[in-house]
Chains A and B, each alone.
Chain A
């Protein structure tokens, strides 16, 4: 049995590829460059590495056919960021021996929170291009399933966290200096009353959902699964928790949005935070639990602790 993972050395691939090897798959890991996975699990030695530049190849419809030529049973597509990319790959895979195509979507198929926690049955009202493109891809995949039996499953991960990269901080953006400030007991600024939510998930738990969807293929076909930690957390709860984790007194100033924007004074950070708090991320993983037997191993804060540990080790966050 052959599995091809596209975008294999990313956050989720780092954990999923070893899981596939342990399941007995012969795994081909496609990535653009030669970057190593975030954690070099031993199973990676058994993996065939292939370098392909998807964006460049897709311009001439040359990516999907290269994947199809590998004659995979399973394709896990981690990096299809737009609808055209999904279509190009899926078309090339039709008529092959493929038995399962797993598509990494996003919680941001959902837009501004309405009823919470949102689940897979909540209607999709994406509020940004990223989310809209994911929704279009899923609509296309669903159409292909209904019309041609194309065997897809979609997984919608939360804010993927783990050791090796920078996770979302308690101000709702990726600025690691916020963790450094907390580590020194210095003041941080949180917008509004800090009750908007973020919803982390450990990369290994996302990999678990993909693995279970492959194992329970029949139940997973034409279905989508939110891959999140059991609970979301408010920025306020997150901030207070991190001060406690670092053994410091919380020093949090809550600012009305216009003032928070002034204090932050960095367009990239402001935009990121705005995107997170306007979604107010809060999702349910009940469907994955019920249908796939998903058992998250990490709470959102467990996932963050690992990420922050690693940021300290790598010198990205400075603590005492």
Chain B
């Protein structure tokens, strides 16, 4: 049995590839460069590494063909960010021996929070291009399933967190210094009343959802699964928990949006925070639990604290 993982050394791939190897798959890891996974385990020695620059290959119309030529039973596509990219890959895979195509979508198929926690049965009202593209890809996949039996499953991860990269902080952006300030007991500023939610998930739990979808193929076909921690958390709750984790007294000032923007380090951070506030991410993982037997290993805070520990170890933040 052959599995091809596209974008294999990313957050989810780091944990999914070893699971596939352990299960007995012959795994081909497709990546643009020669990057190593965030955490290297022994299983990676058994993995065939293939370098392909997806966007360049797609321009030449050769990407899907090269994947199809590997004759995979399973393709896990972790980096398809446009509907055109999804379409060309899927078309190339038709008529091959492929039995399962797993597509990494996103919680941001959902737009601004309405009924919460949002689940897979709620209508999609994406509010940004990223979300709209994911919705378009999943619609295309659904049509291909209905018309041609194309065997896909979509997984919608939350804010993927784990050791080796920077996770979303309590102000709703990726500025690592927010964790640094909290760790030193300094003041941070939160927009509004800090009641908007973020919904992290450990990369290993996302890998678990992909893996269980592969194991329960028939139940998973033409289905989508939110891959999130059991609960979301508010920015206020997140901030207070991080001060407590560092053993510091919380020092949080709440500011209206206009005033808060002046405290953010850059326009990119402001934009990122705005996107997170507007979505106010809060999702249910009940469908993955019920249908796939998903049993998340990490609470949201455990996932975050593992990430922050790694940021300290890597010197990304100094907490004294």
Cβ-closest chain B residue relative to A231: B115
B112, B234, B237: the one contacting A234 at CB < 8 Å is B112
Q: Is the beta-carbon distance between B237 and A195 smaller than 8 angstroms?
A: no
B288 at the interface (CB under 8 A from A): no
Complex interface: chain B residues within 8 A of A116 (CB): 116-117, 197, 231-234, 282
Q: Is the beta-carbon distance between B113 and A237 smaller than 8 angstroms?
A: yes
B215 at the interface (CB under 8 A from A): no
B-contact 0/1 string along A100-129, CB 8 Å cutoff? 000000000000111111000000000000
> How far is A113 from B196 in the complex, measured between Cα atoms in Å?
9
Q: Is the beta-carbon distance between A234 and B236 smaller than 8 angstroms?
A: no
A100 to chain B, nearest CB (A): 32
Q: Is the beta-carbon distance between A193 and B237 smaller than 8 angstroms?
A: no
Complex interface: chain B residues within 8 A of A241 (CB): 114
Q: Is the beta-carbon distance between A117 and B115 smaller than 8 angstroms?
A: no
Q: Is the beta-carbon distance between B237 and A112 smaller than 8 angstroms?
A: yes
> How far is A116 from B198 in the complex, measured between Cα atoms in Å?
10
Cβ-closest chain A residue relative to B229: A115
B40 at the interface (CB under 8 A from A): no
A112, A193, A231: the one contacting B196 at CB < 8 Å is A193
Instruction: State how many residues of chain A have any CB contact under 8 Å with chain B.
Output: 31
B130 at the interface (CB under 8 A from A): no
A88 at the interface (CB under 8 A from B): no
Q: Is the beta-carbon distance between A278 and B195 smaller than 8 angstroms?
A: yes
Cβ-closest chain B residue relative to A191: B192
A178 at the interface (CB under 8 A from B): no
Complex interface: chain B residues within 8 A of A196 (CB): 193, 195-196
Q: Is the beta-carbon distance between A195 and B280 smaller than 8 angstroms?
A: yes
> How far is A280 from B236 in the complex, measured between Cα atoms in Å?
11
> How far is A117 from B195 in the complex, measured between Cα atoms in Å?
12
B59 to chain A, nearest CB (A): 39
B115, B116, B232: the one contacting A115 at CB < 8 Å is B232
Q: Which of A113-167 contact B (CB under 8 A)?
A: 113-117
Q: Which of B260-303 contact A (CB under 8 A)?
A: 277-278, 280, 282, 299-301
A256 at the interface (CB under 8 A from B): yes
Cβ-closest chain A residue relative to B256: A256
Complex interface: chain B residues within 8 A of A195 (CB): 112-113, 195-197, 277-278, 280
Complex interface: chain B residues within 8 A of A117 (CB): 116-117, 231, 282
A-B contact count (CB 8 A): 104
B123 to chain A, nearest CB (A): 11
Complex interface: chain A residues within 8 A of B300 (CB): 115
A-contact 0/1 string along B198-210, CB 8 Å cutoff? 0000000000000
Q: Is the beta-carbon distance between B116 and A234 smaller than 8 angstroms?
A: yes
Q: Which of A256-294 contact B (CB under 8 A)?
A: 256-258, 277-278, 280, 282
A-contact 0/1 string along B227-270, CB 8 Å cutoff? 00001111011001100000000000000111000000000000
Nearest 7 interchain pairs by C-beta: A237-B114, A114-B237, A195-B280, A280-B195, A256-B256, A115-B231, A192-B192
Q: Is the beta-carbon distance between A236 and B114 smaller than 8 angstroms?
A: yes
> How far is A238 from B234 in the complex, measured between Cα atoms in Å?
19
> How far is A315 from B116 in the complex, measured between Cα atoms in Å?
31
> How far is A83 from B257 in the complex, measured between Cα atoms in Å?
39
Complex interface: chain A residues within 8 A of B195 (CB): 112-113, 195-197, 277-278, 280
Q: Is the beta-carbon distance between A232 and B258 smaller than 8 angstroms?
A: no
Q: Is the beta-carbon distance between A277 and B193 smaller than 8 angstroms?
A: yes
Cβ-closest chain B residue relative to A229: B115
Cβ-closest chain B residue relative to A301: B115
Complex interface: chain B residues within 8 A of A277 (CB): 193, 195
Q: Which of B76-94 contact A (CB under 8 A)?
A: none
Q: Knowing A193-B192, A193-B277, A193-B278 touch, does A280 contact B234 (C-beta < 8 A)?
A: yes
B56 to chain A, nearest CB (A): 39
Q: Is the beta-carbon distance between A278 and B240 smaller than 8 angstroms?
A: no
A200 to chain B, nearest CB (A): 11
B-contact 0/1 string along A189-233, CB 8 Å cutoff? 000111111000000000000000000000000000000000111
> How far is A231 from B231 in the complex, measured between Cα atoms in Å?
13
Q: Which of B158-196 contact A (CB under 8 A)?
A: 192-196
Known pairs A115-B300, A193-B196 / 18 extra A-B pairs, C-beta < 8 Å: A114-B236, A115-B232, A115-B233, A115-B301, A192-B193, A192-B257, A194-B112, A195-B195, A195-B280, A196-B196, A197-B195, A236-B113, A237-B115, A241-B114, A256-B256, A257-B193, A278-B195, A299-B115
> How far is A32 from B91 in the complex, measured between Cα atoms in Å?
73
Q: Is the beta-carbon distance between B234 and A112 smaller than 8 angstroms?
A: yes
Complex interface: chain A residues within 8 A of B232 (CB): 115-116
Q: Which of A281-318 contact B (CB under 8 A)?
A: 282, 299-301
Q: Is the beta-carbon distance between A256 and B282 smaller than 8 angstroms?
A: no
B79 to chain A, nearest CB (A): 29
Complex interface: chain B residues within 8 A of A232 (CB): 115-116
